[in-house]
Chains A and B, each alone.
Chain A
Amino acid sequence: MKIALLIATTALLLVGCCSYSEIAPWNSPVTINDGEVPKASFVTANVSYQLFGVLPICTGVPWTSGEGNRMEDIKIRPFADEASLDTNLLSLHHALDLVGSHRITQLYALEDDDWVWSLFVIRRHKVLTKCIILEEQ
């Protein structure tokens, strides 16, 4: 138990638990696929840690408020797990509100679990969602 706690504390100190979101404006006349110029591309990722894959240790906080094109924060919410596709879609809605268009393409999701770094004691769960934002029609 002491070892598990030690590893958990070290993980928090060294790796951190952060969420990352970015809206990258296209700013180019270059078209994609069938000749349409996108407005921006968007990516959001959130990370959570669980002891033995079940007990929540901490989680990053999804981007649901504030302005600007980029959010990289080490806000940590202890004993919770907010890294999920549902919370990533909340960040997507916020990004679409900021860009001013709700038309997208190439929505992609990825969930990635990593146990090896902690010798299989703690699961690092990363959920990533990305898409391309198009002009409203």
Chain B
Amino acid sequence: MPCFLYGLWIIHSNSKKGINMRNILKSIICAVVVAMATGCASITCTSPGKLDGIKFKGTNGTPSQLVFVDCTGYYILWIIPIVSGDVRWNSEKKTIEGGVSLFKDHVSRENLQKAITSYADSHDCDLIDIAYNDSGTSYAGVSQSGAIGALFGSTNMSVSAVLVPRSSGKQGE
């Protein structure tokens, strides 16, 4: 939603002032901030029944969901955090929540692992096919000379897993 409002603001300001380099630069800076703030953490669960009819090795149970949790942090010189995703387990609502932290680094495997295991446990499920992915991006290509962009970097961590209800039983393979 902030991105959408930002888009409306760009259209509005450009229609009033006309498009020039200063407006474009302002827009880009705002877009960077907004995009970083809104795209730092995400949690995706497949709809119920999407895994029906598929048998998974290592379990007799019926898998209920494929879950993907993702967290990104942006840094200066890969060390100083600017903004980072904050994946947290909310024990009251029994759900994983994605937030944003300014100048703090919450991107860690421990946080992702705690979130996904707590989510599975609260749904009375075990996990199979758990897989982690870590990657880093440099922004040297963004600026023309590469000098400014090279100051910035981002780290992304994600985890993917399949939930199997405990009540459906396990197979000892």
Which residues on A are within 8 Å of B, measured CB to CB?
1-4, 34, 36, 51-55, 84-86, 89-90, 92-93, 96, 102-111, 113, 115-116, 119-121, 123, 129, 131, 134, 136-137
Interface CB pairs A-B, < 8 A, 10: A52-B3, A53-B35, A54-B3, A85-B44, A103-B56, A107-B160, A111-B68, A116-B142, A121-B31, A129-B66
Known: A85-B44, A105-B129, A134-B57. A113 touches B39 (CB 8 A): yes
Docked complex Cα distance between A109 and B70 (Å)? 11
How many chain B residues touch A (CB < 8 A): the figure is: 45
Q: Kindly report which residue of chain A lies nearest to residue B32, judged by CB atoms.
A: A120
Known: A4-B10, A89-B50, A105-B57. A52 touches B4 (CB 8 A): yes
Known: A104-B57, A105-B58, A134-B57. A85 touches B6 (CB 8 A): no
Closest CB pairs A-B (n = 6) = A120-B31, A52-B3, A105-B57, A52-B7, A53-B3, A109-B160
Q: Kindly report which residue of chain A lies nearest to residue B23, judged by CB atoms.
A: A3
Tell whether, in the assembled complex, residue A104 and residue B55 are in contact, meaning their CB atoms are under 8 Å apart: yes
Residues of B23-44 whose CB lies within 8 A of A: 24, 28, 31-32, 34-35, 38-39, 42, 44
Chain B residues with CB below 8 A from A113, complex form:
39
**Stretch from B75-83, B86-94, B104-112, B131-139 at the A interface:** B131-139
Q: Kindly report which residue of chain A lies nearest to residue B54, judged by CB atoms.
A: A102
Main secondary structure of the interface of B (DSSP, over half): mixed
Choice from B14, B28, B44, B162 contacting A1 with Cβ under 8 Å: B14
B51 within 8 A of A: yes
Tell whether, in the assembled complex, residue B66 and residue A102 are in contact, meaning their CB atoms are under 8 Å apart: no
Docked complex Cα distance between A120 and B25 (Å)? 12
Docked complex Cα distance between A121 and B4 (Å)? 11
Chain A residues with CB below 8 A from B146, complex form:
none
Docked complex Cα distance between A136 and B55 (Å)? 9
Looking at B58, B68, B137, the one whose CB has the most chain A CB atoms below 10 A away is B68
Chain A residues with CB below 8 A from B139, complex form:
116
Known: A86-B50, A116-B137. A2 touches B158 (CB 8 A): no
Tell whether, in the assembled complex, residue B129 and residue A107 are in contact, meaning their CB atoms are under 8 Å apart: yes
